[in-house]
Structure 1
């Protein structure tokens, strides 16, 4: 809850230095790093202490010395901004300090063929991207502007995991010969990663790692096990947290804890043989987005906890997890009144947040001094 601070005329609390938030474990402050971003979607930390932020509207921005630089980074790949699509995730190559390579996910359109999720690799040279190369394109394309997913993560072996949504065409998620509705595991060149579950199976595409995923908006690497964890949007309810494991079917739309937005029943089953049950789910939906384990020392009470942003419910969720079981769940920042789009563990030992609006912000969540 918000303990201090005035309200604006709109009634939404505007945090600043000195405003205190409380949780069951500790008190903290929010510090505004940058504002005026148009629907920021993802955040990456550069080795020199600067940050890169994607704007869904098709811009990549640099925050340098705590100041948002006005000119966007030049040289982005061709993309389309439509519905939920635009410029999405950004992730740095594990050897970024030496090769300056990063990866971007985004929506792309071909006239007459529809839209899809793409991933491009590029080198950051000052304020410009160079050597831009498309390394992954989910096929076939679709005619909707929904469920592009686009979250990415690296495992400890340097494989790149890319989430692709079902594109609003739910049955595609159960077809391993269709790139929609699953997670793809790639090398940094875009080739299928060695050991992918369908490489020697003619029924599935070589890059497919999991399927039955509706629309993954959060993905992170577990700090102890190295496994990739994700969460995805359900329909009317049934948001899920899952551990991404080779060849697993996560059920959509055969099983779900949600219903269609119209109220229609999608499935009368919440579990089924051959389906991987979620580690945790929300009903009603919170519309989760962004995901990070807290691994720093500045909040020792939160060490190892998982933090998830929420768009619809406008909050930050803290989950205490033991042996893949949620032992405690706490809602934070409900008084902030903002859609949390991304959650990142910063190299400075604190959590960083992005808010999804036409005047989006970058926040640091810091201990109360």
Structure 2
């Protein structure tokens, strides 16, 4: 009898697990459908819609693709782009007045400089006859480093046409993020033409990098203007645990690596602190790390009950994360597009639909399930 009791127990356990998995899958299947609209992309680090609904797509390997009428055209005459470790050609953004001035902004890895290696650079240009023209280098982080990690590189404009961009700590954890005299581990703010705003927080410090807006960051690979509050939101990679979402404010210190909810990849601690005076707390953090990339707020009414939600991609666990917000807190999360691939970039299109750049898949369009 004991033998049959054990068999019955395991049979019921198996059925419960199977039902739970089936229900989890059904939740996602009932929520959305998707369609691959741009295929055969390796690492679509960033993409943006043009006024004619065509798409500019950056591939990390240094290619800028114009996708229009089901065809891909490669933009020529780009700056010299260094592909190094995690970096290459990365984010892309349009000027808020693109219809009038035609300016396109990119972040990329550049080897310009006296020292060997490379670092993050920001450039703007226009496109004419499928070629980049009027190229202007707005910022180049120094010094160069031969390390291949933590280039940061997201771009965002606010409602006053200030350009924000992120540069990761470049693997120099114990020096760059907390030192405002050095590039790396920072979020920066410029005028759209590259000039330093007179009210940047460290302009009166002759030794500081005057483009710095906030510091104490590890590797921010998501940044966006919150259209409901007009605040700049960013997320960043922690080490083993401690990925964060932050609201970015002028002159604030976000703590890396003095405070963190993560630990070393080896399992050892690098700090005993999750909070310290004068350092900002994240509004949300993930442990274990999801390796966040890409970020967008939903303003569309197309998806039932999604308006006001925040979407964040997971590179590590290969899903799109829907964050339900209440009073600037993540109160619930839902996994979408599970196991389709590493989610690298996210945008809401001019048609109100959500588009997602997925490594080794392409760009997919999400539909609410009918």
Structures share fold, TM-score greater than 0.5: yes
The equivalent of 2:369 in structure 1 is 368
The equivalent of 2:92 in structure 1 is 90
Aligned with residue 111 of structure 2, among 95, 109, 112? 109
Give 1:149 shift. Answer: 0.7
Give 1:68 shift. Answer: 3.7
Q: In 2, are the aligned partners of 1:34 and 1:68 still within 8 Å (CA)?
A: no
Q: Which protein has the bigger helix share?
A: 2
* CA deviation profile, 1:99-119 (whole Å, cap 9, x unmatched): 111001000114743210001
The equivalent of 1:122 in structure 2 is 125
Aligned with residue 80 of structure 1, among 79, 82, 99? 82
Aligned with residue 152 of structure 1, among 144, 152, 155? 155
Q: What is the distance in 2 between the residues matched to 1:300 and 1:223? A: 19
* Root-mean-square deviation over aligned CA pairs: 1.5
Q: What is the distance in 2 between the residues matched to 1:22 and 1:95? A: 43
Q: In 2, are the aligned partners of 1:308 and 1:316 still within 8 Å (CA)?
A: yes
Give 1:189 shift. Answer: 1.3
The equivalent of 1:324 in structure 2 is 328
Aligned with residue 194 of structure 1, among 189, 193, 198? 198
Give 1:239 shift. Answer: 0.3
Give 1:337 shift. Answer: 3.5
The equivalent of 1:182 in structure 2 is 186
Q: TM-score, normalised by structure 1?
A: 0.90
Q: What is the distance in 2 between the residues matched to 1:244 and 1:45? A: 25
Aligned with residue 345 of structure 2, among 342, 345, 351? 342
Choose 1 or 2 for highest CA Rg.
2
Give 1:194 shift. Answer: 3.0
Q: In 1, are the aligned partners of 2:246 and 2:283 still within 8 Å (CA)?
A: yes
Q: What is the distance in 2 between the residues matched to 1:304 and 1:237? A: 26
Aligned with residue 263 of structure 2, among 244, 248, 259? 259
The equivalent of 1:60 in structure 2 is 64
2:137 aligns to what SS in structure 1? Answer: strand
Q: In 2, are the aligned partners of 1:22 and 1:28 still within 8 Å (CA)?
A: no
How many matched pairs? 344
Give 1:37 shift. Answer: 1.3
The equivalent of 2:15 in structure 1 is none
1:300 aligns to what SS in structure 2? Answer: coil
Structure 1 range deviating more: 110-119 or 92-101: 110-119
Give 1:40 shift. Answer: 1.2
Gap regions ≥5 residues in structure 2: 1-24
* CA deviation profile, 1:103-138 (whole Å, cap 9, x unmatched): 010001147432100011101224111011111111
Q: What is the distance in 1 between the residues matched to 2:49 and 2:262? A: 36
Q: What is the distance in 1 between the residues matched to 2:162 and 2:29? A: 35
* CA deviation profile, 1:218-247 (whole Å, cap 9, x unmatched): 011101111110000000110000001001
Q: What is the distance in 1 between the residues matched to 2:269 and 2:252? A: 24
Q: What is the distance in 1 between the residues matched to 2:332 and 2:342? A: 22
1:97 aligns to what SS in structure 2? Answer: helix
